[in-house]
Amino acid sequence: MNIAFSSSTGITVNEHFGWTKAFYLYEVDENASKFLKIIDTSLEYEDEKKKLSYKIEAIGEADLMYCTQIGPTASKMVLACGIHPVRVAEGEKIENAIAQLQQMLKEQPPMWLLRIFHKAKSRK
């Protein structure tokens, strides 16, 4: 599955979804992870819905999106596009978030994660 991390450094999750200028996209399964690319979302829009739509379209290949904060409207829009938003504490290391996901996948993953994982696998 593909995971987009909202980050200014590529090391930690440290950005609000609507304000982030970049997402770091990783491909992750239960045993491995691979950095795919940096997604630039630095274009500015005055209109809030246009800004959110632009960011969601930019991360369209993601199955999960990690950020420090996301508003209710943005969260609904992200979910409607088939991307599951995950809020984490500011400073959460990307490598730790990946390791936790992998551990959950190996043990007893929650239903929401299993659903996302199998949906992502079926695309390949």
CA angle 124, 92, 30 (to 5 degrees): 30
pLDDT in tens, 79-123: 999 999 999 999 999 999 999 999 999 998 999 999 999 889 887
Domain-wise residue ranges, the chain: 2-122
Average of per-residue pLDDT across 57-77: 96
What is the rounded CA–CA span in Å between residue 109 and residue 104?
5
What band does 124 get if pLDDT is binned at 50, 70 and 90?
low
Three-class SS state of 9: coil
Average pLDDT, the chain: 95
CA angle 7, 66, 44 (to 5 degrees): 55
Note the pLDDT of residue 122: 85
Q: Report the percent of the chain where pLDDT is more than 90.
A: 91
What band does 8 get if pLDDT is binned at 50, 70 and 90?
very high
pTM of the model: 0.95
Distances (CA, A) of 124 to 6, 19, 74, 83, 95: 25, 31, 28, 17, 24
Pick 58 or 118 by higher pLDDT: 58
CATH 3.30.420.130 fits 2-122, yes or no: yes
Q: Measure the N-to-C terminal CA separation of the chain; round to a whole number of Å.
A: 10
- Quick check: 53 pLDDT over 70? yes
